[in-house]
Structure 1
């Protein structure tokens, strides 16, 4: 395998000049840079990333720890993070926490040991020692989608409060009053925020919330199906089921269909988190869409600002309601 000395000899320059080209030094002319890069291509030379990182204390890699790789929202988020990082010359290493603190900590430890330049974390439900130690050590960390109270870490997330108010107002205008909510886990910031917004929106419309109409799931389809079953078995079942994320909405949909019920005639259904295939359901599903792609791109920019020592601020982007026929009205946006 060709080495840096071979490249220098082939290009007719010094080893130091080749090193400057590899490190994007402005002290190299365009003509010389082109000559060195042509030599690299001819010799199929590949820089030793490990050796370079030891010299520069930078690996040009970022770590991303997501909550659940099977959740379509996180898949879109990860794709956007990779695209933005690659455009900036970085590689992304992804870890799937599977919503488990111990698995999150495994990836925090592994990625920091691999000396990633910065770390994006969609945190699980609690502050863990490794996350806290990583933050307090000064490692560039940015929280994505969720936050952890008690840690001063910049975050990039969506706010669905107004969109949830829009949804409840829309349902109210359609003449439906009995709305049940499959909330997310109370320990997650997203679960708390959506539950609080739902209660506020119902009160603003003058609608009652019976205690049995709100139950917490775990952002998985099985919990959505089980809770929907309990709602539908009530003496006075709800007219609308609102699921706090797309997987729980899928579970609720399965339960509704298994009973031979029609959407929206027998019961309406809405979801927090829009998914591309929601438009292909019959009827298409009303949903609250988070700007997942923009969240991923902005998170990378904020993290790179931290890596490069620039001041940063948290970013909050609005979610929006996408009205389709699952709640009883023709499709609009």
Structure 2
């Protein structure tokens, strides 16, 4: 089998230069990198990652534990993280917590035993002893999408408060007054934050927050459908159902279709989290989109800074409203001109 010295000899460079290319170091010219990689391909050289990790005390891998791999938001986020990690010379090992603390801890423990260099964690609702131990032990750790109060861990997330306020103003301009919200679990930071932002937005718009229009879901489609059924059975059902994530919006859509109600003539629907299939239903769904690609990039960069022992500041990115036709035909609205989105000029 070819070794690193053979690669260096064929490429006409030093062994150290080959090592820098294989470790994706920025201190190598493009021409040299191309020459080394060509030699690697010609010789069929495969570096021994295990041996290299023993020598350097690193594995060039990071662990990612996400809430629910079946949720399109997390699927897209995992892809963005993998792309950024690969560009930085790292591989990603993914664990699906399925929103269960015990499964989260299983993957955290397993990844640490596999000696990943750092962890990206979308935490479940509670602080488990294992997560507390990981934090106090100083392992490189970054929270993603969600926070856990009381733990000093940098977090990369999106803030949807401004986008929710914009959504409520948009619905009010369309003439809607009876707006219902299906929230996520109150134990999750994302569930609490979106509920608080909705209530504040309704108050700011001069609209009543009716208790019967507040339903609690669990970020799963079944809970969205059950919540929509209860809302639509009310003596005075809402004019719009705003779901706190895309899966609950899917469940609500299923219930609305099962009742043969027309969207938006009989009831409108909007969702937190914009996903590609929202543009393929009729009518397309108004949604609040999170900057998933940027979240992935920022998360990987933050974790690499932790791995290198550098200070990390939390990153809070803005979500944005994408107006489509599921709540009514948007007219030209004040402040919309030039923003460029479907139906309203927003991006």
Q: TM-score, normalised by structure 2?
A: 0.89
* Change in 2 beyond 3 A, CA 1:326/1:3: same
Per the alignment, residue 291 of structure 1 pairs with: 291
The separation in 2 between residues aligned to 1:255 and 1:94, in whole angstroms, is 33
Per the alignment, residue 88 of structure 2 pairs with: 88
Per the alignment, residue 338 of structure 2 pairs with: none
Are the aligned partners of 1:182 and 1:242 in contact in 2 as well (CA < 8 Å)? yes
Please list every run of at least 4 consecutive aligned residues from structure 1 whose deviation after the TM superposition is greater than 2 angstroms.
1-5, 7-14, 17-26, 28-43
Q: CA deviation at 1:136?
A: 1.3
Q: Is 2:259 aligned against 1:262?
A: no
Per the alignment, residue 176 of structure 1 pairs with: 176
- Counting only pairs closer than 5 Å after superposition, residues 118-157 of structure 1 correspond to structure 2 as 118-157=118-157
| Partner secondary structure for residue 235 of structure 1 | coil
The separation in 2 between residues aligned to 1:37 and 1:232, in whole angstroms, is 62
Q: CA deviation at 1:4?
A: 4.8
Give RMSD over aligned pairs.
Answer: 2.4
Are the aligned partners of 2:118 and 2:307 in contact in 1 as well (CA < 8 Å)? yes
Q: CA deviation at 1:174?
A: 1.3
* Change in 2 beyond 3 A, CA 1:265/1:21: same
Q: CA deviation at 1:329?
A: 1.9
The separation in 1 between residues aligned to 2:28 and 2:205, in whole angstroms, is 67
Per the alignment, residue 18 of structure 2 pairs with: 21
The separation in 1 between residues aligned to 2:62 and 2:47, in whole angstroms, is 19
CA-to-partner distance for each residue in 1:101-129, whole Å, 9 max, x for gaps? 11111110011111111111111111111
* Change in 2 beyond 3 A, CA 1:220/1:29: closer
Structure 1 gap segments, 5+ residues each: none
Q: Is 2:98 aligned against 1:117?
A: no
Per the alignment, residue 281 of structure 2 pairs with: 281
* Change in 2 beyond 3 A, CA 1:34/1:233: closer
The separation in 2 between residues aligned to 1:165 and 1:59, in whole angstroms, is 44
Per the alignment, residue 334 of structure 2 pairs with: none
Are the aligned partners of 2:268 and 2:328 in contact in 1 as well (CA < 8 Å)? yes
The separation in 2 between residues aligned to 1:221 and 1:105, in whole angstroms, is 25
| Partner secondary structure for residue 164 of structure 1 | helix
Q: CA deviation at 1:42?
A: 3.5
Structure 2 gap segments, 5+ residues each: 331-342
| Partner secondary structure for residue 22 of structure 1 | helix
Per the alignment, residue 333 of structure 2 pairs with: none
- Counting only pairs closer than 5 Å after superposition, residues 281-320 of structure 1 correspond to structure 2 as 281-320=281-320
* Change in 2 beyond 3 A, CA 1:265/1:88: same
Per the alignment, residue 212 of structure 2 pairs with: 212
The separation in 2 between residues aligned to 1:110 and 1:11, in whole angstroms, is 40
Q: CA deviation at 1:34?
A: 8.0
Per the alignment, residue 59 of structure 1 pairs with: 59
| Partner secondary structure for residue 326 of structure 2 | helix
The count of corresponding residues between Structure 1 and Structure 2 is: 329
The separation in 1 between residues aligned to 2:311 and 2:237, in whole angstroms, is 51
The separation in 2 between residues aligned to 1:75 and 1:96, in whole angstroms, is 10
Are the aligned partners of 1:179 and 1:240 in contact in 2 as well (CA < 8 Å)? yes
The separation in 2 between residues aligned to 1:34 and 1:174, in whole angstroms, is 58
| Partner secondary structure for residue 69 of structure 1 | coil
